[in-house]
Amino acid sequence: MSIASQIADAPASDTPAPAPPPLGPDSLTWECFGDLRGLLLIGRAGILQNMHPAIGAGVEQHSDYSSNPWNRLLRSAPPILGVVYDGGAASATGARVRDYHREIKGVDGNGARYHALQPDVYYWAHATFFESQIVMRERFGTPLTRAEQEQLYRESIDWYAQYGVSMRPVPPDYAAFREYWDRTVDEVLESSEPVRWSLDRARLKDVDRPYESIPRPLWRLLRPVVMGGSMWVAAGTLPPVARERLGLRWTARDERLLRLLALVTRGAFRLVPHDLRYMPRARRGWKRIRAR
């Protein structure tokens, strides 16, 4: 019995389900999640996560987001990719990622107590990673069919189970996920200090290099693209409700430029060899499979 059918049949519970076999190279998730084009949407995923009251409070109170936001993102990405691409070690990687969050707790801006491992909180972060794959393919690649979106969602349930956390908030199928997504965007998400900070261009000009190995002159050239560019793409690809809630302006000219960027990205990507289309942790996964 699949994890998806267990979720549909089981009563609500905070007891973790046994982890299924990890995803492999025959999965659609392997094809999509580690795709380098996903970096174009990393700012969008960060905004959607930080608009959740508990996650926004956790980032504000427990991270160095204001001094080096890109280093925090770059530290987080490889282990999360590992939950998909680490093969037989996926569950161990998932447990490490989960345990990073054990001490992240406090009181959010609404006066409510939160913990990063609360089921509804932890699942929302995962939901943004899953949904970003669909948007990435829609905007910058070959759009997924409805059947492929449903397959990708079923795989996302097995992926999430690798963390060893409660499966209670996980919608049983893709149609239910879309309802969950829209309801969360409409009723839960709000502005937060980390989001306001990331959208403040006056602050972004002072952001330091993510790594000291990057020469400062080079970072001064890259910073407007890395910081401002990622926030611009985020503004254009956010759900309209979230964009309006944040007071972001998006013009017809912006939309034309984003479509031009997408056209160039699709064309250029066709020329890139397979392994170079993926982030390093994903690339190692593909190489490991071929070596067998």
Q: What is the pLDDT of residues 81-136, one digit of tens each?
A: 999 999 999 999 999 999 999 999 999 988 999 999 999 999 999 999 999 999 99
pLDDT > 90 fraction of the chain, expressed in percent and rounded: 71
Q: What is the pLDDT of residues 158-171, one digit of tens each?
A: 999 999 999 999 99
Higher pLDDT: 22 or 226? It is 22
With 0.85 as the threshold, say if the pTM is over it: yes
Q: What is the pLDDT of residues 179-202, one digit of tens each?
A: 999 999 999 999 999 999 888 877
Residue extents of the structural domains in the chain: 3-192+205-272
pLDDT at 220: 80
Q: Closest Cα partner for 72 from 95, 92, 43?
A: 43
Phi then psi for residue 278, to 5 deg, are -120, 155
**DSSP conformation letters of 214-248:** S-HHHHHHHHIIIIIIHHHHHHHHS-HHHHHHTT-
Q: How large is the average pLDDT for residues 263-276?
A: 94
